[in-house]
Amino acid sequence: MKKELTKKAAKMLLNGATLLSEPCPYCKGVRVMKEGHALCINCGREPEKKDIPVERSLDSTTPPIKKALQKKMEILSKELENENDHEKQQNILKTINLLLETIEKIKDKQ
C-alpha cells in the first residue's frame, strides 16, 4: 500500500501539489496537499474535517473582545473558502487556530 501512496503523491506533486511542512497528525508522516486535500504518504489518512465553532448569538453580555474575535473568525473563514494558494490557506488556518485558543482562554476566565 505504501508504494501506491508514494505513486499517488508523486502524481499529485507533478500536477501542482505541494509538500506540507506540518506532519501527519496521525503518524507524523510527510503530507502532500492539492486543492485543499492533504494526503499522508505514510498512512494515507486525511485529517478529519472539523467545523469551526462560531457562536452566532452575540448579545449585550458578550465581552467586546470576544465579539471582535468572533467577527474576525467569520472574516477569516470566508477568506479561507475563497483562497486557492495553499501557503495562504495554511497561514489563515494558523490564525484561526490562534483565535480559537484565545476564545477558549477567555471562556476559562469567565
**Strand arrangement, sheet containing 37-40:** 18-19, 31-34, 37-40
* Mean of pLDDT over the chain: 80
67 touches 58 (CB < 8 A) = yes
| Alpha-carbon distances of 65 from 30, 68, 74, 109, rounded to whole Å | 38, 5, 14, 13
Looking at the 3D structure of the chain, how many domains does it have?
2
Of the chain, the percentage scoring pLDDT greater than 90 comes to 1
- Domain annotation covers residue 45: no
> Are 33 and 69 members of one domain?
no
- Domain annotation covers residue 21: yes
- Domain annotation covers residue 34: yes
Instruction: Name the DSSP class of 42.
Output: T
Q: What is the dihedral of CA 56, 74, 71, 67, to 10 degrees?
A: 40
Residue 101's domain comprises 64-109
What tens digit of pLDDT does each residue of 44-97 get? 887 665 454 555 555 566 678 888 888 888 888 888 888 888 888 888 889 988
> Are 72 and 35 members of one domain?
no
Cell of 55: 457562536
pLDDT of 99 > 60? The answer is yes
pTM (two decimals): 0.44
